[in-house]
Structure 1
Amino acid sequence: MRFTPGARTHWHSHAVGQTLHVTEGVGLVADRDGQVIRMRAGDTVWTPPGEEHWHGGTATTCMSHYALLEGPEEGGDGTTWLEPVTDQEYQEAHRQ
């Protein structure tokens, strides 16, 4: 998945967690507790099961990553999509 500057996912969670491996650029992944990780090409970040988070490019850089996840035994991919990340939340993540 490729994110242009300023692009990001909505808040979401994964029933079995998610692994993100950055292949290009710089991006952010943030959770509801305010923890922000700045990801760079070559970095791998894991989000635990049920953790609400978002990820995307920074305000000035593109970012590409592989998003790896397993679905629950019941089927599907186990992703729960939530509300959009507000501009205020996105800007706050850059200050971290």
Structure 2
Amino acid sequence: MELLPVRPTVKTPAQAFTGDVYMTPIYNGSGPSRMTVALVRFTPGARTNWHSHAVGQTLHVTEGVGLVGIRDGSVLRIHAGETVLCPPDEEHWHGAAADTFMSHLAMLEAKPDGSDPTTWLEPVPDEQYQQANKKDN
């Protein structure tokens, strides 16, 4: 058994996020585990860029209301206690709804070779984000 210390919270990089987003690392696996877990906190209106994960990603909402969108225009409205499974290589984005904070645990695995499993893409345009907020989800 091992007790891990609390790690510092960092502001996420502007080149991969819109708005103010903060991440607290929880766990980074080391052989044989390749799991990474982080608590990610989004201020109202904040969101990720489009991105994908080679081995998929699991999001577990811990607070608030958020959105997860995929390229075909589908958007899920997510709430505290719910879990979203993003399949490998599916381009998606996620973040807070326009009027509330949202926090989630982001869980993913590194590639078998240990390299970064995330491919970051372009920002979600404001118009597309605003439309996602209007959908009756």
Fold conserved (TM > 0.5)? yes
69-78 or 22-31, larger mean C-alpha shift = 69-78
Query: Are 1:63 and 2:63 counterparts?
Result: no
Which whole-Å deviations, capped at 9, do the CAs of 1:9-64 have from their partners, x for residues lacking one? 00000000000000000000000011111110000001000110000001101000
The structure having more radius of gyration, on CA atoms, is: 2
What stretches of structure 1 move > 6 A for 4+ residues in a row? none
Aligned with 2:115 (options 63, 76, 87): 76
**If the length of structure 1 is used for normalisation, what is the TM-score?**
0.96
**If the length of structure 2 is used for normalisation, what is the TM-score?**
0.68
Which whole-Å CA distance do the structure 2 matches of 1:43 and 1:77 have between them?
26
Q: Using CA pairs below 8 Å that are at least 6 residues apart, which structure has the higher relative contact order?
A: 1
What's the counterpart of residue 13 of structure 1? Answer: 52
Unmatched segments (≥5 aa) in structure 2:
1-39
Unmatched segments (≥5 aa) in structure 1:
none
- Number of residue pairs matched by the alignment: 96
> What percent identity do the matched residue pairs reach?
68
